[in-house]
């Protein structure tokens, strides 16, 4: 077969990208198939064209049911089955899908979950322990972000802390070995408002877990670290940025002078982890708002400033997402796409000069756009939500022990969110038992209008994949379901 040591210019490995030389890719696949005798010379051109079309399609549209693609290729079932077999004989075709415009869906989410058999458990309605568990320990939050679904003023009673932290300990102790990234701390409300977060982090680390805390870092002070030394046992601290100056922060969070405090906290944290030679990773999350792509250059300068606080321990990673796809059809206009593409080029040039060690994750849509494809996010609606949800894949547990089935539902007093509580962990009831009862009792939740907003990007991807897999199985393509496994 073709060499697996393909160069970036290889026409097959790049055939899913915009502007690819599809004719050259077809010729290369044709040579590979005939050289090994898998396809006769007469049939090879048509087979090669269809294989390249498969790679091109799934490199851009990973959630298409197989039967839909078979019809678009206008081949019978036997011929399509042979095509799927031939596809697996050319590793470069698979590489083209995994590195295409939709490659982050495959690399970051779909294939890792496939390798663990997580989707199989969900499809079979098998009650297994969730692959990922989010703990939402924060009793309150100091911000009032305008985009947050949190009910203004909603918080947990401080009296819930002791029993809640004991419950979190029991959940940490339940998590099966073998998946060090099986849990994280987030919210809901701000995790660092829980004075027991450090102890929970230490407990998780002692069990071989490597949790990340998702935080606004307003409370990531030296005083907090002194009171909660277990914070240093975290794998990573990931700070959500809500602007790059006090005015932007106040407009978003409602809190004056909050950016200055967050910046000072991060600078001091940088210094302390360097002094301690701590392996803890430091990262940031930033959302690009419409019309503000130019702020990405200021973001690089901000990160470079943080790096100056500890030159030998620069910021490790940055997650960049966009808020452009909040359109009726989820698509960008031509002007917006051009603006964003040009802004990302300038951003990467400045990163190369000022923060060259920074690892950047652009997420699903921005990765597509960087390749020149349209940035279009999934648009799961109530009609495509799954009444059985996916507790085998992930759940979230709040301070009361309530087990939420979607990541954006775990806020106190949020209207309608209680319908997405699978059960409650507490004395005599483990998380495994909550999931077992929910799945074993075949509980179904009928989605209401607006329920899709309880889902974050991960929930949307998982839902789309499970819908795709069910369609494949129902159409008789169970052996090849999902195209790539």
pLDDT band at 3 (very low <50, low <70, confident <90, very high): very low
What is the model's pLDDT at position 251?
Answer: 84
What is the model's pLDDT at position 267?
Answer: 98
Show me where the domains of the chain are located.
22-100, 383-480
Measured on CA atoms in the order 187, 190, 192, 193, is the torsion positive or negative?
Answer: negative
Residue 230, token pair as written in the block: 């277990």
What is the model's pLDDT at position 249?
Answer: 86
Contact 376, 141 (CB under 8 A): no
| pLDDT tops 60 at residue 480 | yes
Better pLDDT: 328 or 129: 129
**CA 264 centroid distance within chain:** 28
* C-alpha closest to that of 176 among 134, 234, 133: 133
Contact 87, 98 (CB under 8 A): no
Q: What would the pLDDT profile of 71-116 be if each residue is shown by its tens digit?
A: 999 999 999 999 999 999 999 999 999 999 999 999 999 999 999 9
What is the model's pLDDT at position 328?
Answer: 55
pTM over 0.85: yes
What is the model's pLDDT at position 370?
Answer: 83
Q: Which of 23-37, 317-331, 352-366 has the lowest mean pLDDT?
A: 317-331
What is the model's pLDDT at position 44?
Answer: 92
Tally: H helices and E strands in the chain? 18, 10
The residue whose two tokens read 């907090």 is 224
Rounded CA gap, 71 and 194, in Å?
A: 55
| pLDDT tops 50 at residue 2 | no
The residue whose two tokens read 């869906």 is 105
Rounded CA gap, 153 and 144, in Å?
A: 8
What is the model's pLDDT at position 326?
Answer: 52
Contact 406, 438 (CB under 8 A): no
Q: What is the mean pLDDT of residues 299-310?
A: 97
DSSP state of 382: G
| pLDDT tops 70 at residue 306 | yes
Q: Please, what is the average pLDDT of the chain? A: 92
The residue whose two tokens read 């939420």 is 404
What is the model's pLDDT at position 36?
Answer: 80
DSSP state of 108: I
């Amino acid at each position: 077969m073709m060499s697996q040591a393909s160069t970036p210019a290889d026409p097959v490995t790049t055939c899913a990208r915009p502007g690819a030389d599809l004719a050259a890719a077809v010729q290369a696949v044709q040579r590979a198939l005939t050289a090994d005798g898998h396809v006769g010379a007469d049939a090879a051109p048509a087979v090669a064209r269809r294989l390249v079309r498969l790679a091109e399609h799934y490199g851009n549209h990973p959630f298409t049911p197989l039967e839909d693609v078979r019809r678009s290729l206008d081949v019978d079932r036997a011929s399509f089955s042979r095509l799927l077999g031939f596809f697996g004989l050319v590793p470069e075709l698979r590489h083209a899908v995994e590195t295409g415009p939709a490659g982050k869906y495959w690399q970051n989410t779909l294939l890792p979950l496939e390798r663990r058999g997580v989707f199989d458990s969900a499809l079979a309605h098998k009650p297994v322990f969730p692959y990922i568990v989010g703990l939402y320990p924060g009793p309150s939050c100091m911000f009032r972000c305008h985009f947050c679904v949190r009910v203004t003023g909603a918080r947990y009673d401080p009296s819930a802390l002791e029993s809640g932290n004991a419950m979190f300990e029991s959940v940490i102790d339940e998590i099966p070995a073998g998946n060090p990234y099986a849990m994280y701390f987030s919210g809901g409300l701000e995790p660092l408002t829980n004075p027991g977060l450090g102890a929970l982090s230490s407990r998780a680390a002692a069990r071989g877990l490597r949790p990340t805390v998702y935080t606004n870092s307003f409370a990531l002070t030296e005083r907090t670290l002194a009171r909660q030394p277990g914070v240093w046992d975290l794998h990573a601290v990931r700070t959500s940025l809500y602007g790059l100056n006090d005015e932007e922060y106040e407009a978003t969070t409602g809190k004056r002078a909050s950016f200055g405090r967050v910046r000072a906290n991060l600078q001091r944290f940088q210094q302390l982890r360097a002094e301690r030679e701590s392996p803890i990773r430091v990262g940031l999350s930033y959302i690009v708002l419409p019309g503000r792509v130019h702020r990405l250059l200021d973001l690089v300068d901000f990160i470079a400033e943080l790096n100056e606080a500890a030159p030998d321990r620069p910021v490790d990673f940055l997650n960049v997402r966009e808020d452009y796809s909040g359109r009726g059809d989820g698509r960008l206009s031509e002007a917006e796409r051009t603006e964003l593409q040009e802004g990302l080029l300038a951003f990467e040039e400045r990163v190369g000069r000022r923060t060259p060690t920074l690892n950047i994750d652009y997420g699903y849509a921005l990765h597509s756009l960087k390749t020149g494809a349209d940035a279009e996010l999934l648009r799961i609606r109530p009609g495509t939500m799954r009444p059985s949800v996916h507790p085998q894949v992930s759940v979230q547990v709040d301070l009361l022990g309530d087990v939420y089935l979607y990541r954006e539902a775990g806020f106190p007093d949020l209207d309608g969110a209680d319908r997405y509580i699978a059960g409650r962990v507490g004395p005599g009831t483990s998380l495994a038992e909550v999931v077992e009862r929910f799945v074993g009792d075949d509980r179904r939740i009928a989605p209401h209008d607006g329920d899709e907003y309880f889902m974050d990007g991960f929930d949307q991807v998982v839902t789309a994949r499970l819908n795709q897999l069910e369609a494949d199985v129902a159409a008789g393509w169970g052996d090849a379901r999902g195209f790539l496994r």
